[in-house]
Amino acid sequence: MTSNSQAFLRDLGAGVATLLGPEFVYSKSKLELKRKVPEGHDVIILSGSAKYSPYISVAFYYGKNFAAARSVEKAARVYTFPYHIQQYSVNWRPTQETPYRGEGSWSIDLNSPPSTLAQEMAIAIQGIAFPFFSRFKELTTSRDALAANDPGCFGGPIFWSQLLRLDAALGDLPHFQQWSHCLDEWTRGQAEAEMAKFALVTVGGA
């Protein structure tokens, strides 16, 4: 991505953060907005992909970072994910439960970006990400959705590592061990090695 694109996204994120209010802390370097909640943090990360100069496609990822899962990540000295369950606004589709009917991504001409873009994105975050935050505020609900490859989130075998962290936070590594039979042999070997690290630091993980 060009420096112009990065600068545009940084400024856009600052504008969105202002509109969402002081609950959200904005990191320009990460293009990340975080809101502290009882279970951890609600997280939004802006993304941009170059189409052809001077156009850029803008969207956002959104997810939950659970304090309990982050604690076991740190204790096991493994990678700490920005979110333990997530989705991408490009994948969003309207449902009966979500009244928002606007865009989930935007094609922007960097030479003449719309003045309303920050407002449009803030409204989209409220309409798309906020219902996600409400639905997945519980560890067990999130764990079950990941395991079932629920269309409301990224899940299934590709996201085994996030599932492992939620099971470790729940003290339910046997659940992950049983679920991991769906993984291919090579991936299951990786999962078992990482599960062993969690088993050393979690109660009920043996």
Q: Residue 192 above 50 pLDDT?
A: yes
Summarize pLDDT for 1-22 with one digit per residue, the tens. Answer: 567 888 999 999 999 999 999 9
Q: What integer is the mean pLDDT of 76-100?
A: 89
Least confident among 53-67, 175-189, 192-206 = 192-206
Q: Residue 85 above 90 pLDDT?
A: yes
3-state secondary structure the chain: CCHHHHHHHHHHHHHHHHHHCCCEEEECCCCEEEEEECCEEEEEEEEEEECCCCEEEEEEEEEEEEHHHHHHHHHHCCCCCCCCEEEEHHHCCCECCECCCCCCCEEEECCCCCCCHHHHHHHHHHHHHHHHHHHCCCHHHHHHHHHHCCCCCCCCHHHHHHHHHHHHHCCCHHHHHHHHHHCCHHHHHHHHHHHHHHHCCCCCCC
| pLDDT score, position 96 | 61
Tokens found for residue 36: 């502290």
3-state secondary structure 68-125: HHHHHHHHHCCCCCCCCEEEEHHHCCCECCECCCCCCCEEEECCCCCCCHHHHHHHHH
| % of the chain at pLDDT higher than 70 | 96
Q: Pick 101 or 173 by higher pLDDT.
A: 173
Q: What integer is the mean pLDDT of 57-86?
A: 96
Summarize pLDDT for 138-185 with one digit per residue, the tens. Answer: 999 999 999 999 999 999 999 999 999 999 999 999 999 999 999 999
